[in-house]
Structure 1
Amino acid sequence: MRSPIAAVASVIALAQPTVEFTPVPSYPTPPPVSFDASSLSGHPPAPDQTYQRDKECVKAGSGASVEARPWGQMDLNFEQVWRFGRGDGQLVAVIDTGVNKHPRFDGRLRAGGDYVSSDGDGTTDCDGHGTLVAGIIAANDEVEKEGFKGVAPGARILAIRQSSKAYGGQKNNTPVRAGDHLSLAKAIVRATDEKAGVINISSVICTTPNSKDWPELRAAVRYARDHNSVVVAAAGNVNDKEGSNCRNGNRPDALATVPSPAWYDEDVLTVGALDKDGSPASFTLGGPWVDVAAPGTQHTSLDPGDGAKGLANRVVEADGQLYSINGTSFATPYVSGVVALVRARYPQLSPVQVMERIKKTARQPQGRSGRDFHVGYGMVDPVAALTAVLPEEQGINPLPPVRSTVDIAAPAPADTRPLTVALVGSGIGLGVLALTHLAVRALRRRRTA
Structure 2
Amino acid sequence: MHAKGPARRLTAVLLAAGIGALSPGVTAPLALAQPSIPADEGGHYAEPPSVDGGMFPAASDQPDKNYVQEIGCVRRAELDDNVVLPNKPWGQQYLRIEEAQKLARSATGGYAGKYSSGEPVKVAVIDTGVTPHPFFQGRVEAGADYVKNVPPGPGLEDCDGHGTEVAGIIAANPTNPEIGFTGVAPDSTIVSIRQSSQNYKPAQEDTAQSNDAEDPPAGDSEKPGDGGGGQPGGGADRLIAPGTGPAQDSPGRQQGEADAAGTVDTLAQAVAFAAKVSGVKVINISINNCRAANGIITDPEKRLQAAVSDAYLRDIVVVAAAGNTGDTCKQNNQLDPKVPQSIVTPPWFADHVLSVAAIDQTGGVADFSVHGPWVSVAAPGTDIISLDPAKDSDKLANRTVEGNGEPTPIQGTSFAAPYVSGVVALVRAKFPDLNAEAVINRIKSTAQHPAAPGGRDNFVGHGVINPVAALTATVPEEEGMAAAQPVQLPSDLPPTHEGDQTPMIVAFAGAGGGLVALGITLFVIHTIRRNRPEPT
Q: Tell me which interval the TM-score lies in, with the shorter structure as reference length.
A: 0.7 to 0.9
2:57 and 2:303 in contact (8 A); partners too: no
Alignment correspondent of 1:69: 88
The structure-2 alpha-carbon separation of the partners of 1:279 and 1:21, relative to structure 1 and needing over 3 Å to count, comes to farther
1:172 corresponds, among 200, 209, 227, to 209
Equivalences for 1:277-288 in 2 at 5 Å? 277-288=362-373
2:476 and 2:484 in contact (8 A); partners too: no
Q: Distance in 1 between matches of 2:183 and 2:32?
A: 45
2:401 and 2:407 in contact (8 A); partners too: yes
Asked whether 1:55 is paired with 2:71, we answer: yes
**Other structure's SS at 1:383 match:** helix
Alignment correspondent of 2:276: 193
Asked whether 1:87 is paired with 2:113, we answer: yes
Cα deviation, residue 397, structure 1: 3.2
2:181 corresponds, among 148, 153, 167, to 148
Asked whether 1:109 is paired with 2:140, we answer: yes
Q: Distance in 1 between matches of 2:434 and 2:342?
A: 33
**Other structure's SS at 1:68 match:** coil
Asked whether 1:222 is paired with 2:305, we answer: no
Asked whether 1:128 is paired with 2:161, we answer: yes
The structure-2 alpha-carbon separation of the partners of 1:399 and 1:129, relative to structure 1 and needing over 3 Å to count, comes to closer
Q: Distance in 2 between matches of 1:427 and 1:273?
A: 58
- What are the ranges of 5 or more consecutive residues in structure 2 without an aligned counterpart? 1-19, 38-44, 105-111, 115-119, 212-257, 488-500, 513-536
Alignment correspondent of 2:398: 313
Letter in 2 for 1:70: P
Q: Distance in 1 between matches of 2:430 and 2:34?
A: 41
Letter in 2 for 1:172: Q
Q: Distance in 2 between matches of 1:420 and 1:305?
A: 78
1:234 and 1:332 in contact (8 A); partners too: yes
Deviations 1:182-232 (A, max 9, x none): 110111111110131110000110122224431110101001000011100
Equivalences for 1:18-57 in 2 at 5 Å? 27-36=45-54, 40-41=58-59, 43=60, 45-57=61-73
Cα deviation, residue 73, structure 1: 0.3
2:56 and 2:303 in contact (8 A); partners too: no
2:25 corresponds, among 15, 18, 33, to 15
Cα deviation, residue 421, structure 1: 8.0
Asked whether 1:234 is paired with 2:317, we answer: no
**Other structure's SS at 2:75 match:** coil
Give the percent of matched residue pairs that are identical in Structure 1 and Structure 2: 43
Equivalences for 1:50-449 in 2 at 5 Å? 50-61=66-77, 66=85, 68-85=87-104, 86-88=112-114, 89-119=120-150, 120-144=153-177, 147-169=180-202, 170-172=207-209, 174=211, 175-194=258-277, 195-209=279-293, 210-213=295-298, 214-239=301-326, 245-253=328-336, 254-317=339-402, 320-365=405-450, 369-398=454-483, 422=505, 424-425=507-508
Cα deviation, residue 315, structure 1: 1.9
Cα deviation, residue 125, structure 1: 0.1
Q: Distance in 2 between matches of 1:21 and 1:260?
A: 33
Cα deviation, residue 318, structure 1: 5.3
Alignment correspondent of 2:517: none
Q: Distance in 2 between matches of 1:419 and 1:185?
A: 66
The structure-2 alpha-carbon separation of the partners of 1:247 and 1:420, relative to structure 1 and needing over 3 Å to count, comes to farther
Q: Distance in 2 between matches of 1:373 and 1:278?
A: 15
1:294 and 1:334 in contact (8 A); partners too: yes
Letter in 1 for 2:265: L
The structure-2 alpha-carbon separation of the partners of 1:58 and 1:21, relative to structure 1 and needing over 3 Å to count, comes to same
Letter in 2 for 1:182: D
Structure exhibiting the larger radius of gyration computed from Cα positions? 2
1:115 and 1:183 in contact (8 A); partners too: yes
Q: Distance in 2 between matches of 1:144 and 1:358?
A: 30
2:124 and 2:190 in contact (8 A); partners too: yes
Give the aligned length.
401
- Higher mean C-alpha deviation, range 64-73 or range 47-56: 64-73
The structure-2 alpha-carbon separation of the partners of 1:171 and 1:144, relative to structure 1 and needing over 3 Å to count, comes to farther
- Higher mean C-alpha deviation, range 287-296 or range 19-28: 19-28
Q: Distance in 2 between matches of 1:24 and 1:267?
A: 29
Letter in 1 for 2:172: A
Q: Distance in 1 between matches of 2:406 and 2:446?
A: 39
Cα deviation, residue 316, structure 1: 2.8
Cα deviation, residue 323, structure 1: 2.2
2:57 and 2:307 in contact (8 A); partners too: no
- Higher mean C-alpha deviation, range 343-352 or range 173-182: 173-182
Indicate the RMSD between aligned Cα atoms, in angstroms.
3.0
Deviations 1:309-346 (A, max 9, x none): 01110123455442211000011111111111111111
Q: Distance in 2 between matches of 1:207 and 1:228?
A: 29
TM-score, normalised via structure 2 length: 0.69
- What are the ranges of 5 or more consecutive residues in structure 1 without an aligned counterpart? 1-9, 403-417, 430-449
Q: Distance in 1 between matches of 2:342 and 2:506?
A: 51
Letter in 2 for 1:199: I
**Other structure's SS at 1:270 match:** strand
Cα deviation, residue 11, structure 1: 7.2
Deviations 1:257-288 (A, max 9, x none): 10000000000001001010011111010000
Letter in 2 for 1:202: S
Letter in 2 for 1:157: I
The structure-2 alpha-carbon separation of the partners of 1:38 and 1:347, relative to structure 1 and needing over 3 Å to count, comes to farther
- Higher mean C-alpha deviation, range 380-389 or range 135-144: 135-144
